[in-house]
Structure 1
Amino acid sequence: MLAAREDAELLVVHAFPRLSALEAAFGLDDRLPNRLRAAAEANIDALAEAAQTAAAGRVRAEIAEGSAHRAVADASETFHPDLVVIGAHGRGALRGSFLAARPRAFSSAACPVLVARQPAEADYRRALAAVDLGPRSAAVMRAALVVASRAQVTMVHAYQAPFEAKLRHKGVPEEVILRYAEAESRTARSNIDALLADPALARRDIERRIVHGDPNPALPTAIGELHADLIVVGKHSGSRIGEAVMGSVSRFLAYYAPCDVLVV
């Protein structure tokens, strides 16, 4: 659907397991690889045909032997995509290898990666752009406005007092922690004002949502409350601390968010 809307070329790639992986999963059977290969070819041809039916004009499909991560990386090197789309999970006995490939796809991709959980039956209606207000926040917002161009976009930022969990663990009074958190809230609101003053964003109707709490529980809660069908999040924020925080958040959402996840 995105390829059709943007008049983009679409490459459909299927990672076909090596013989050793098939033997480990199913045992020795000389006929099995050929049967599975034929099934894979039929499935990928059906996907390409469905994409053309959905008005994607330039579609081609290919089967790559090896891991899902390697297949995505190799295809990206030759195809130079603007966006990589992967399914939220694999099927059957080889599901584990597919899940293991997902974080590698995030770290190695030179472009945004969309983890698709739902069938693409319509344009996104409600999108969340999760920002940490670091260097990649503007890129997260721009990606949300492109991929979810027909959706209501809400910027969401989860904040905490510095070292809030440690302060609470050491018995620091809650009113003191909340005072620190309120200072973070004021800073966040000021930074959000500056971010949305960007001419590319100022012309758009973007809602704001600032919540106190850890991003991992706060963002799924926001998804549920706003009935979002897409959340956009940064891969990392540039700093070591930011990369550890937002990197873990993007991985958490990719595995557990109830909607599609776009990692920028």
Structure 2
Amino acid sequence: MTLRSILAVTDFSSKGCHAIARAALLCAEHRATLKLVYLAHPDEAPPPDAAVRLAQHALQLRQRHHITVQAATRMDLTAADVAREAADADLVVWGTAPLRGLAAWFRTHPAVRMLRACQRPVLVVRKAAAQPYQRLLVAVDFSQVSQRLVELGSALQPSARVELFHAIDTTNEGKLRYAEVSERAIRAYREECQRFAQDRMFTLADSYDARRNRLSSTIGRGDPARQVVVQQQHTAADLIVVGKHPASLLSDLVFESVAHRILRHAPTDVLVVPHGYQPATSAAPAQRLATDLPTRRVKAGQPRLPRYPNPAAQIGRS
């Protein structure tokens, strides 16, 4: 993913300023154009000087990074308006103050709503953008999009070290114990899950010989969202890359996705990529996304799939 256009969303909070700075760094590195938009919190009016402040940000970024920056002229944009703006961007960089109180629990994260509306990768910025990303943690579940996540994360920051991380969900072990399955059978099931994860991780990592000296992999156990956050804190990764499965609004409200829980608890920046996302609507970005993705070096044809299914998924269906 060679970026050509980035849309940065800000509310002038500290997170909003971090997002603008990060978007500018990425634009400078990828020689992309930047558009700044202001999005007020729900039921709040924009400040009277919002247009002036946004224009000042654009001027400062142009002078500091020597990039093309455009500031939106409308300050009363809604989330739907921003989604339409994002349709022509290669990446959305999100910077709004987090929701507080009960609203944080009964509303989905605004970035998740944006993912559903525009189907674009959304980078949620939380840390000050002092330097390019140094270490990426890519959460993989061995679905078909896991490889895509690695490619997108690597292309976003080519110089960064990349760690592939998968957490073996232990929920089914509790189900087996509840069904009074013997400890010996549970231990065999656990070992089978471990072998499956190791085989898939080896297959995925082995596809990236060109990055072998900057790519590592780790397998954990437990709740996937929680383990990703724990691993990020352990390795001090400054960006988490995670995919978002398609889900309805009701499903996201009742059953939080892994991506949503990572967004809620991760203290660092998170790049959320919708599964099956579509390229930018304009012809040029669509052609770029088809041709600019890094070429993947593969040994002996396409990566092979294990001959046996995911044991955890098999029990999950029962």
Q: What's the TM-score, normalizing by structure 2?
A: 0.66
The equivalent of 2:28 in structure 1 is 4
Q: Which runs of 5+ in 1 are unaligned?
A: 23-32
CA deviations on 1:140-183 (whole Å, 9 max, x unpaired) are 10111122322211000111357233224445455533321221
Which contiguous aligned blocks of 4+ residues in structure 1 show a shift greater than 6 angstroms?
Answer: 95-99
The equivalent of 1:152 in structure 2 is 161
Output the CA distance in 1 between the equivalents of 2:195 and 2:246.
20
- Shift in CA distance, 215/100, structure 1 to aligned 2, threshold 3 Å: closer
User: Contact 2:139/2:164 (CA < 8 Å) preserved in 1?
Assistant: yes
User: How far apart are 1:107 and its partner, in Å?
Assistant: 1.9
SS at match of 1:128: strand
The equivalent of 1:25 in structure 2 is none
Deviates more, 1:132-141 or 1:147-156: 147-156
Partner letter of residue 71 of structure 1?
D
CA deviations on 1:34-73 (whole Å, 9 max, x unpaired) are 8x231x1233123223422441511101134243x22321
The one of 72, 76, 80 equivalent to 2:82 is 72
The equivalent of 1:203 in structure 2 is 210
SS at match of 1:262: strand
Partner letter of residue 27 of structure 2?
A
* Structure in which a larger fraction of residues adopt helix: 1
The equivalent of 2:265 in structure 1 is 256
Partner letter of residue 37 of structure 1?
P
- Shift in CA distance, 15/166, structure 1 to aligned 2, threshold 3 Å: same
SS at match of 1:258: coil
The one of 156, 163, 178 equivalent to 2:172 is 163
Total equivalences in the alignment: 239
CA deviations on 1:205-246 (whole Å, 9 max, x unpaired) are 3101011211021111101110111100111289xxxx9xx9
User: Contact 1:158/1:215 (CA < 8 Å) preserved in 2?
Assistant: yes
- Shift in CA distance, 260/192, structure 1 to aligned 2, threshold 3 Å: same
SS at match of 2:174: helix
